Amino acid sequence: MDERAYIEQFQQPWQELKASIDTARRRGINSLTPEQLEQIGAHYRMVVAQLSFVRAQGMSDQLISYLNGLAAGAHGVLYTRRGLKAYSIGRFFSRQFPELFRQNLRFVAVAALVFVLGWATAVAVTQSDPTSGSDMLPEKVRPLSDRQMEAPDPVFLSSYIMANNIRVGILAFAGGVTAAFLTVFVLFFNGFYIGLIAHFVSTGGPSLQFWALVLPHGIIELTAIFICGGAGLMLGSALLAPGNLRRGDALKLAGVPAIRMVAGCIPMFVIAGIIEGFLTPSVLPAAAKLGFAGLTLLGLLAYFGLVGRSVPKSASPTSHLSTVLPNS
């Protein structure tokens, strides 16, 4: 690759990053706006990836030294204590978390698809032999006998599924370090088991009551699981297809947004727990609880689809090569 053409291609973001670093050094980190801090984070990840690339391509020591200095300067800005304070929790959830979701929607969608495939497999198994799936269920939620298809108490099932879903979300993310094989396994079999439970509830008990208890918090829980699973798939993708990077570097780059996505799911699990604790045992009719579940779905669609969107800024003119690489 032509080094001069490569420099001309990326000199503008390098200049922007250097200007922000210089401002932080002269005036302090608090002089930077939240938008500038976000831009530094994005440029930092880009420069780290480019640093590995130019080394692999055997480009000049001057360029490598320049990019290494940019990466070190950006790291110092981002990981100072005051810099971390600038990223407020409110700003994360009002902009950054839904943006991360949209940027990595393909991974979340694949995670949801794996779960649905597990559910569909459970449906196929139970349709071919209605009693065959009983032995596959965990002991706590297994029907009382092969002949008596009565399902356990719906309130107990609701609590069991919630605890199980939180565990699944954590495992789905952590499984990314196994090249996402564990992530896929966990998502598939969670969908399979919940599909089996849904089958036995619908055939042996008041299914409307069960869904009225599960869906108000279950929609939020499943969305959080799919996000955690998508984060795990991001890690697995970095390991399986690192591109021009070393696998360790690719994993580090993917790990930053993946961990932030999982962190965003923590309040979702908490909210689901509050709903499960107060709405599930309430005396509200099933129709009201199902209506509330519909509202949670609309709320999630609005939050992840609309919150944090902004009009893109126009690009500034490209500067000369000499201002990017001094003494070049």
Look up residue 176 and give its DSSP letter: G
SS3 state at 312: coil
pLDDT tens profile 297-328: 999 999 999 998 864 444 333 333 343 444 43
Please give the single-letter amino acid code of residue 139: E
Report which of 87, 88, 70, 92 is spatially closest to residue 25, judged by C-alpha positions. Answer: 70
Residue type, 96: Q
The per-residue pLDDT for range 23-82, each reduced to its tens digit, is 888 877 777 777 777 888 888 888 888 888 888 888 888 888 888 888 888 888 777 644
- Whole-number Cα distances in Å, 79 to 38, 73, 144, 220, 328: 13, 10, 56, 32, 31
Domain extents in the chain: 3-87, 99-306
pLDDT band at residue 146 under the 50/70/90 scheme: very low
Q: Which helix (H) or strand (E) holds 204?
A: helix 181-204
Average of pLDDT values for 81-99? 70
Q: Which two tokens stand for residue 48?
A: 């780290």
Give the separation between CA 91 and CA 180, rounded to whole angstroms.
Answer: 30
Nearest C-alpha neighbor of 24 from the set 4, 41, 10, 45: 41
User: Which whole-number Å values give the CA distances from 214 to 155, 220, 267, in the listed order?
Assistant: 9, 10, 18
Contact 154, 229 (CB under 8 A): no
Euclidean distance between the first and final Cα of the chain, in Å?
18
Per-residue confidence band for 155, with pLDDT thresholds at 50, 70 and 90: low
- pLDDT tens for 184-225 read 999 999 999 888 888 777 665 557 877 888 899 899 999 999
CA distance 39 to 235: 23
Instruction: Please give the biggest Cα pair distance in the chain.
Output: 84
Quick check: 279 and 216 in contact, CB under 8 A?
Answer: yes
230-261 pLDDT tens trace: 999 999 999 999 887 788 888 888 888 999 99
Report d(CA 199, CA 193) in Å as an integer.
10
CB 47 within 8 A of CB 96: no
- Burial group, residue 188, by CB count within 10 angstroms (0-12, 13-18, 19+): middle
Beta carbons within 8 Å of 172's beta carbon, 6+ residues apart: 111, 183, 186, 187, 225, 228, 229, 231, 232
Q: Residue 16 in contact with residue 49, Cβ under 8 Å?
A: no
Q: How many helices (H) and strands (E) does the chain have?
A: 13, 0
CA count, 13 A, side-chain hemisphere, 312: 3
CA distance 222 to 296: 12
